[in-house]
Amino acid sequence: MAMTRTAKELAESIGAKLEGDAAAEIRGVAAPERAGPHDLIYVEAAKHAERAAASAALCVVADDGTALGGKTVLRHKQPKLAFAKAAALLLERAPIASGVHQTAIVAPLTRLSPGVSIGPYAVIGEDVHIGSGTQIGAHAVIGAGCWIGDNCRIHPRVTLYAGVRTGHRVEIHSGAVIGADGFGYAFGEGRYWKFPQAGIVEIGDDVEIGANTTIDRGSLDDTRVGDGVKLDNLVQIGHNCHIGAHTVMASQVGFSGSCVIGKNVVVGGQAGFGEHCRLEDGAVIGGQSGVLGGKTIRSGQTVWGTPARSLDKFKEQFVWQARLPELAERIKKLEEKAAR
Amino acid sequence: MAMTRTAKELAESIGAKLEGDAAAEIRGVAAPERAGPHDLIYVEAAKHAERAAASAALCVVADDGTALGGKTVLRHKQPKLAFAKAAALLLERAPIASGVHQTAIVAPLTRLSPGVSIGPYAVIGEDVHIGSGTQIGAHAVIGAGCWIGDNCRIHPRVTLYAGVRTGHRVEIHSGAVIGADGFGYAFGEGRYWKFPQAGIVEIGDDVEIGANTTIDRGSLDDTRVGDGVKLDNLVQIGHNCHIGAHTVMASQVGFSGSCVIGKNVVVGGQAGFGEHCRLEDGAVIGGQSGVLGGKTIRSGQTVWGTPARSLDKFKEQFVWQARLPELAERIKKLEEKAAR
Amino acid sequence: MAMTRTAKELAESIGAKLEGDAAAEIRGVAAPERAGPHDLIYVEAAKHAERAAASAALCVVADDGTALGGKTVLRHKQPKLAFAKAAALLLERAPIASGVHQTAIVAPLTRLSPGVSIGPYAVIGEDVHIGSGTQIGAHAVIGAGCWIGDNCRIHPRVTLYAGVRTGHRVEIHSGAVIGADGFGYAFGEGRYWKFPQAGIVEIGDDVEIGANTTIDRGSLDDTRVGDGVKLDNLVQIGHNCHIGAHTVMASQVGFSGSCVIGKNVVVGGQAGFGEHCRLEDGAVIGGQSGVLGGKTIRSGQTVWGTPARSLDKFKEQFVWQARLPELAERIKKLEEKAAR
């Protein structure tokens, strides 16, 4: 799955400055401890230079300040970023499907663009569009009227309910369910009545969605996931949520319905959000935080805890909480003094 | 997917009082901002009357106190409820399957009632009963001995382990797993031994189960989900739990084994429960709350936090927590005074 | 599914001392209240002896201190453990598949050992090894190059991405996804770039993995799950995590990447862990706890809360938190006194 490149070719592709053997052949990537001579490695900071020096790898991505005698070095200000770009060139992504498998069931009006691959037993509904170069894994179920962009990677056992739309280069991992009914009811006469879940889900370009993550369709509005958004595994996105571009959410995050999430927001694992929350651009939400329904987290603010408050406030309160026994003791002493 | 009704027909069906054009044709539902002339909209309160007034929709569901000049109005005390009922008449649910697909594998002793539909590649085990009008989606796996009621909607890629029983009109979303082994072991000799998970799962009528939700089979008892229960996505119900009728749970809620949950309980998202919890009828559990094993939440009580306490207490403590730095300062001042 | 044994046979097999009718026939297990005469029951402690006495069951597992007149008793120091072992002998596990179904797609170079069963529509990739006696359920998708040990039980609708390796006697429940890409990106130029996720997942012997649980493949390292580990449903294990033998995790636990978890660790439901956490052998993590990235929980320590602290400390702080209104009142009184 690896494609050989020379150090020179790589340096040019990733915008790095080359030091050393321009013809060095690189065939893969690895951690320093596991690398062979032809694997590319990287070091983030000078303090990790020893790990790189001790590695069998001949070629290292590093920043300017890291001395690496004897290695061919690709110098870049952001070594991890440069390494990630190099890896994308060196490692071929494992194919999800090749060709349209004879057991795949493709409804008559479906429009398959050139270069589409569909795995065994996948089921593609009526009037679906699948863009060129897109791969659909085994057992994926694509509902009627879905529109899937170019060069997407839909892994095995993904469900898209009817009417889901995705941009290009979208990757959806196994078990994810996109477009199921949102959780909406009206209570009356002693029972819950299903509120209509008639909207769709619209997903931008370059989005990655983790395994077993669920994104509900809109009720009377649509659910929207912006360009470049990355969602980890087991995340829940409620109906009508709008997620801005380049926002990332770690595993097991849960959003209730109708939340508006800005661009470049970072949400830590297991954080939870009530209905109609608003996270402005660049907000950072600590892991396990809870944001009450209707609340707004301001642009650039970092919050933590349940209910979520500013990180500084949380830390200060936490310190005092730990000192509560001491405070209580001091009150007791004051009372004793006062009684005398 | 929409079925046209006149305003008069709708008003009669949902028990609303008609004002305006009895013959107005209604063909769908929408949010006020997205509605066309023939979409039904609703407003919950007078303060939203402007949104409705500005809408292209000709027909509105509203309560008595909301003035809506120029519109045909269906008056009802609970507009959202009435709207939900109207939507159920206007919107045909998307079919999950039509007919029994030739690739569906149905074991010889399975009993399919009239009007059953089964999607491509679904696998139905021995001795299963499927009630009339029930639809089973593509790739669903129904284990041996399951009993599924009438007019159920089992979406694609649902797993029912052997012996699961459901009532009528049950809807189960994609990726849900019902009846997997509970998490029970006996520890001894340095390892865990599997405790028998020999019970079943019994699900009542009118239950809706979200995408990727898991409900474990009983160990020596059964797991029971009462009539009208609604579970959101990614919820976990442990073995032997009993859930009373018309209880609702938001996404990512987790119940350990052997919890007894009353009727009309409301559980907020991401709340967690230790073994042998007891939630009495009408209890309300705030999002992310944690209830310790063996604890009881009393009927009608609202609790929050971990460990869960009454909402009033939680709020009072939270306010004082925020004032901890101030309290500490006041103690310091008292100490200084006392030292003088 | 039950296999008859005599009381004498069972006693010998599980290492119990027999009292009463050696020839008593036992055909299954049950809770005392649901047992028939030929079901085996157990009581954990003398206080439950009445439940056993009132049961129709003729044969009981109990410790030495529990009087059970009229019953045949299998005496064992750890009744629950002995009962679990007896149940394993009495109850045949429901078969997941029998034979290799004609609709299963098995790639040409796959090596199926004797006695392998594969259910309908399962898809087995190139160069997979499946050990003898292993059962693979319907719709399972096993990626290229996977190595699966002997006597494993892979339930329907499980996904193993390419290159996953499991030991023997591993049970994986429906909907689990093993080996999906970890959540790793490098941020630069306004967007996230995928960091290589090129490692594998290695699973030991006797591991059980719950429904819809996700275990990500390593990035430059591997993800490893030790022998005897038990993971409940909807658990998330991030890339590069290493889990020691006989560690158990309740439902909805989430680990970020590169955590090192010792042996015999117990993790309560919904607990969450930042990157590079270290849980030493025997650590106990309370439900919903949050351990910050990079933190270590010491061997044998029990922690709770977010951020996690020792259980004693948590309890002490919690008590004082509840007394905050009282402390504030006492401060107020002291201030009034001082003002006089």
With a CB cutoff of 8 Å and minimum separation 6, the contacts of A159 are A140, A141, A143, A176, A177, A178, A179, A180, B155, B156, B157, B174, B175, B211
Helix (H) or strand (E) holding B203: strand B201-203
pLDDT at A1: 55
Helix (H) or strand (E) holding A3: none
Chain C residue nearest residue B191, CA to CA: C246
Helices (H) and strands (E) in chain B, counts: 5, 40
Give the separation between CA A63 and CA A60, rounded to whole angstroms: 10
Phi, psi of B154 (to 5 degrees): -100, 110
Chain A residue nearest residue C330, CA to CA: A331
Q: Which of A239, A242, A246, A276 is catalytic?
A: A239
Distance from CA of B133 to the nearest CA of A (A): 19
pLDDT at B70 over 70: yes
* ipTM for the complex shown: 0.97
Could you tell me the strand order of the sheet in which C28-29 lies? C17-19, C72-75, C59-62, C39-42, C28-29
Q: Mean pLDDT across chain B, nearest whole number?
A: 96
DSSP class of residue B2 equals B
pLDDT at C216: 98
Give the separation between CA A294 and CA A296, rounded to whole angstroms: 7
**pLDDT (tens digit, 9 = 90+) per residue, C47-82?**
889 999 999 999 999 999 899 989 999 999 999 999
Distance from CA of B111 to the nearest CA of A (A): 25
Indicate the pLDDT class of residue A115, thresholds 50, 70 and 90.
very high
Distance from CA of B223 to the nearest CA of C (A): 14
Indicate the pLDDT class of residue B225, thresholds 50, 70 and 90.
very high
The token pair at B40 is: 């039904």
The angle that helices C311-322 and A311-322 make with each other, rounded to 10 degrees, is 100
| Contact between residue C119 and residue C141 where contact means Cβ atoms under 8 Å apart | no
Place of tokens 């329907």: C156
pLDDT at C2: 65
**pLDDT (tens digit, 9 = 90+) per residue, A285-336?**
999 999 999 999 999 999 999 999 999 999 999 999 989 999 999 999 999 9
The angle that helices A79-90 and A7-14 make with each other, rounded to 10 degrees, is 120
Give the separation between CA B157 and CA A175, rounded to whole angstroms: 9
User: Is the pTM value of this prediction over 0.95?
Assistant: yes
Burial class (CB in 10 A: 0-12, 13-18, 19+), B189: exposed
Best probe of the B interface among C27, C123, C174, C247, by most B CBs < 10 A, is C174
Give the separation between CA C274 and CA C290, rounded to whole angstroms: 8
pLDDT at B1: 55
Best probe of the C interface among B220, B235, B256, B270, by most C CBs < 10 A, is B220
Contacts of B among chains (3+ CB pairs under 8 A): A, C
Name the residue facing C175 among A87, A175, A233 (closest C-beta).
A175
- Residues of chain B contacting A274 with CB distance shorter than 8 Å: 269, 287
Judge: C139–A155 Cβ closer than 8 Å, yes or no. no
Name the residue facing C186 among A84, A174, A328 (closest C-beta).
A84
Q: Mean pLDDT across chain A, nearest whole number?
A: 96
pLDDT at B219: 97
Could you tell me the strand order of the sheet in which A177-180 lies? A105-106, A123-124, A141-142, A159-160, A177-180, A214-216, A236-237, A254-255, A272-273, A290-291
Amino acid at C175: G
Distances (CA, A) of C339 to B337, C169, C313, C327: 10, 75, 35, 18
Amino acid at C64: D
**pLDDT (tens digit, 9 = 90+) per residue, A268-279?**
999 999 999 999
- Residues of chain B contacting C331 with CB distance shorter than 8 Å: 327, 330-331, 334
Judge: B81–A193 Cβ closer than 8 Å, yes or no. yes
Chains A–C, number of C-beta pairs less than 8 Å apart: 178
Distances (CA, A) of B188 to B192, C8, C179, C264: 6, 22, 31, 12
| Contact between residue B103 and residue B136 where contact means Cβ atoms under 8 Å apart | no
pLDDT at A339: 86
pLDDT at C48: 85
Cα B162 to the chain's mean position, in Å?
A: 23
Q: Is A50 left (phi over 0), alpha (psi -120 to 50) or beta?
A: alpha
The token pair at C60 is: 């009981």
Give the separation between CA A198 and CA A183, rounded to whole angstroms: 12
Judge: C317–A318 Cβ closer than 8 Å, yes or no. no
Distance from CA of C115 to the nearest CA of A (A): 25
Distance from CA of C33 to the nearest CA of B (A): 9
Mean pLDDT of B288-303: 97
Percent of chain A with pLDDT over 70: 99
Judge: A87–C198 Cβ closer than 8 Å, yes or no. yes
pLDDT at B254 over 90: yes
Distance from CA of B337 to the nearest CA of C (A): 8
Q: Which residues of C are catalytic?
A: 239
pLDDT at A51 over 60: yes
- Residues of chain C contacting A156 with CB distance shorter than 8 Å: 123, 141, 159
**pLDDT (tens digit, 9 = 90+) per residue, B117-143?**
999 999 999 999 999 999 999 999 999
Radius of gyration of chain C (CA): 26
- Residues of chain B contacting A216 with CB distance shorter than 8 Å: 211, 233
Residue in A11, A162, A123 with CA at minimum distance from that of residue A72: A11
Judge: C180–A157 Cβ closer than 8 Å, yes or no. no
Chain C residue nearest residue B187, CA to CA: C81
Mean pLDDT of A62-76: 94
Give the separation between CA B285 and CA B268, rounded to whole angstroms: 6
Judge: C327–B327 Cβ closer than 8 Å, yes or no. yes
pLDDT at A2 over 70: no
| Contact between residue A246 and residue A264 where contact means Cβ atoms under 8 Å apart | yes
Judge: B91–A159 Cβ closer than 8 Å, yes or no. no
Name the residue facing B236 among C34, C251, C325 (closest C-beta).
C251
Best probe of the A interface among B251, B281, B337, by most A CBs < 10 A, is B251
Percent of chain B with pLDDT over 70: 99
Name the residue facing A246 among C190, C274, C327 (closest C-beta).
C190
Distances (CA, A) of A71 to A43, A53, B83, C125: 12, 8, 70, 39
Judge: A198–B87 Cβ closer than 8 Å, yes or no. yes
Best probe of the B interface among C251, C264, C267, by most B CBs < 10 A, is C251
Beta partners for C29? C40
Helix (H) or strand (E) holding A35: none
Judge: A270–C254 Cβ closer than 8 Å, yes or no. yes
| Beta pairing, strands A141-142 & B191-194 | unpaired
pLDDT at C335: 92
CB atoms within 10 A of CB C67: 10
Give the separation between CA B78 and CA B15, rounded to whole angstroms: 11
- Residues of chain B contacting C212 with CB distance shorter than 8 Å: 175, 177, 212, 214, 234
**Residues of chain C with confidence (pLDDT) below 50:** none
Give the separation between CA C160 and CA C215, rounded to whole angstroms: 10
